[in-house]
Amino acid sequence: MGQTLTLSNVGVALQRGGRQVPVVENISLSLAAGETLAIVGESGSGKTTTALAIPGLLPEGATVSGQILLQGQDLRRLAQRALRKLCGARIGMVFQDPLAALNPTMRVGAQITEAIRLHLGLSRRAAWARAVELLNEVGIEGAAARAADYPHMFSGGMRQRVMIAAALACDPILLIADEPTSGLDADLKEQIFTLLARLRADRRLAVLLISHDMSLVARHADRASVFYAGRCVETGPAASMLRSPRHRYTCALLRAAPRLGGGVPAAIRGAMPEPEAFAASCRFAPRCDHAQAECVATAPALTAAPDDEGHIAACFYPATTPVAGMHVPSAAAPSPALSGESLRVEGLTVRYRRGYRSGTARVAVQDVSFQMAPGECLGVVGASGSGKTSLAHAIVHMVPYEGRVLFRGEPLSTLRGAALRRMQLVFQNPAASLDPIQTAGAAIEEALELGGLRDRRQRRARATALLEQVGLANSLLDRLPGTLSGGQAQRVAIARALAAEPALLVLDEPTASLDVSTAAGLLTLLRDLAVRLGVGYIVITHDVAVASVLAHRVAVMQNGRLVEIRNNVPS
């Protein structure tokens, strides 16, 4: 049977700082009609670059080598114009963040008809009718009326459906979906994937799915390829490969992903190399626990695994046991005698005034009550818009609220200075929570100074100790936030919060902006700190798995209300 898409030995070099840097090399994949192939990897692995190389959408100055065949036709041999016509009609692209990927000043109907009129040559009216039909097909209610709406008038999930409708405009044979559900809630993720599965079956589409979420891939893709540092390290049937991976990176990645009842995720040490520093040998070797001399010397070839058909991995010392249950057992799980009371929240309500001098208010949090013991970790989970961030901001007194919040027995509104410092918020976006012109050391020292530590030398010493505590080298003391990675910045922010010797740390989506392996390291650190320092946490997150790693109890928010508090099941 003919393959819809075949890549053989594809490499991509991008223009970086005036020279060509190879970011992807030696990629060979194939995809048949009606099949879903997922490319899995962390950011910087080259998965998006590979996807964009297929229809020739790479930025200027990029060079592509190898062969890209769409139904046997080599796309690389086509002239620019012909490529545009062919790909516009036969390949549908769905990008992440549909709000940015749709033109804000164009009606969605017009954006769908654009390709139809261009490639199918339909009249304006016929194209519009077809657009409405497509919107219907992807499940948009009242499609005829909504085609005339602008992208911002749709909700996140609906916007992605519009994107999909636009991608299907010319009946493509291949659909490339780049992180189509990032930023969406779990429910919406499932809905979008259900829709994609239905369309694939109805239209015999070949779907190339780019994702970093392995659990989604395991459930929704037929086959998966794991990318690391510009190479494909492992390919195989999605479900079984992700159950018993061969490549050590895949194993490590799976163990790093937090999962329900899975204990503490295991961090991968180090970081993925930048393209400039790509080695010729196995690129995962410096981070691998199983690496031998051979791994640092030469690159392993993709070889077939004995067990499974079509399962290949590029590893000299592949894993042989399934990865499930390979999470570090949660022996270190903190279970202090939770007695006494650190925080009591009674009838907390947060309202935001709607606009300027208008009477109506939006209720973000409604009548929430709970209490926490010293050293307890409470996870607060909920979809976006459920009020969990407003709750966090109210607890640290960043927004006005109604109701009562008692921190260590005192009403929050009467607390001043030192007493208030015992509660700290760690922000969602670590880079923004650091002053861009203040070095990491200065930020921590400032926190100490505000705590009354006058002596300069003592401050320096304490700052170094704090950095060490969060697992950072003291060479970072003099670095500006702009030069820190996301994980490093988040650790500096935590160190700064710890400088205030808090009794309670409110963590707002602590891992949302981080990659899987970095996030795992951070979660391990937080778990560790809780045990060592006896500090309590409120962990605000949309990811139940993250909460389950840290929390003793998990509170569920929905539409501004706290609907449930349950004990976290120990693993």
Which positions touch other proteins (CB under 8 A)? 55, 57, 81, 84-89, 91, 93, 95, 97, 100-106, 111, 114-115, 118-119, 150, 152-153, 163, 166, 169, 355-358, 396, 398, 417-418, 420-421, 423-425, 427, 429, 432-438, 446-447, 450-451, 480, 482, 493, 496-497, 499-500
Q: What share of the chain is helix, strand, coil (3-state, %, to 5)?
A: 35, 25, 40
Which whole-number Å values give the CA distances from 431 to 61, 400, 482, 510, 515, in the listed order?
30, 25, 7, 12, 15
Q: What DSSP element (H or E) covers 220?
A: helix 214-220
Four-CA torsion 107, 113, 118, 124, nearest 10 degrees: -100
- Distance of alpha carbon 81 from alpha carbon 183, whole angstroms: 34
Please report how close the Cβ of residue 341 comes to other proteins at its closest, in angstroms. Answer: 22
Please report how close the Cβ of residue 539 comes to other proteins at its closest, in angstroms. Answer: 18
Please report how close the Cβ of residue 249 comes to other proteins at its closest, in angstroms. Answer: 29
User: CB-wise, 493 or 516, nearer to other proteins?
Assistant: 493
Please report how close the Cβ of residue 170 comes to other proteins at its closest, in angstroms. Answer: 8
Q: Strand, coil or helix: what is 363?
A: strand
Please report how close the Cβ of residue 134 comes to other proteins at its closest, in angstroms. Answer: 13
User: CB-wise, 338 or 453, nearer to other proteins?
Assistant: 453
User: CB-wise, 93 or 549, nearer to other proteins?
Assistant: 93
For helices 486-499 and 516-533, angle between their N-to-C axes, nearest 10 degrees: 20
Please report how close the Cβ of residue 158 comes to other proteins at its closest, in angstroms. Answer: 16
Please report how close the Cβ of residue 444 comes to other proteins at its closest, in angstroms. Answer: 10
User: CB-wise, 115 or 380, nearer to other proteins?
Assistant: 115
CB distance 356 to 516 below 8 Å: no
Locate 234 and state its tokens: 């492992």
User: CB-wise, 84 or 219, nearer to other proteins?
Assistant: 84
User: CB-wise, 150 or 278, nearer to other proteins?
Assistant: 150
Exposed/middle/buried for residue 478 (C-beta within 10 Å: 0-12, 13-18, 19+): exposed
- Distance of alpha carbon 23 from alpha carbon 14, whole angstroms: 7
User: CB-wise, 219 or 460, nearer to other proteins?
Assistant: 460
In the sheet where 410-411 sits, what is the strand order? 361-372, 343-353, 402-407, 410-411
**Residue 223: half-sphere exposure toward Cβ, Cα within 13 Å:** 20
Please report how close the Cβ of residue 452 comes to other proteins at its closest, in angstroms. Answer: 9
CA angle 235–240–246, rounded 5-degree value: 55
Q: Strand, coil or helix: what is 8?
A: strand
Pairing relationship of beta strands 231-237 and 312-313 according to DSSP bridges: antiparallel
User: CB-wise, 102 or 266, nearer to other proteins?
Assistant: 102
User: CB-wise, 4 or 424, nearer to other proteins?
Assistant: 424
Q: Note the helical H segments in 320-478.
A: 388-395, 417-421, 440-450, 456-469
User: CB-wise, 97 or 528, nearer to other proteins?
Assistant: 97
Locate 473 and state its tokens: 């080298």
- Distance of alpha carbon 330 from alpha carbon 327, whole angstroms: 8
Which whole-number Å values give the CA distances from 552 to 126, 375, 504, in the listed order?
59, 10, 14
Q: Note the helical H segments in 402-543.
A: 417-421, 440-450, 456-469, 486-499, 516-533
Please report how close the Cβ of residue 237 comes to other proteins at its closest, in angstroms. Answer: 29
Please report how close the Cβ of residue 120 comes to other proteins at its closest, in angstroms. Answer: 11
Please report how close the Cβ of residue 548 comes to other proteins at its closest, in angstroms. Answer: 27
User: CB-wise, 315 or 539, nearer to other proteins?
Assistant: 539
CB distance 534 to 375 below 8 Å: yes
Locate 455 and state its tokens: 């002596």
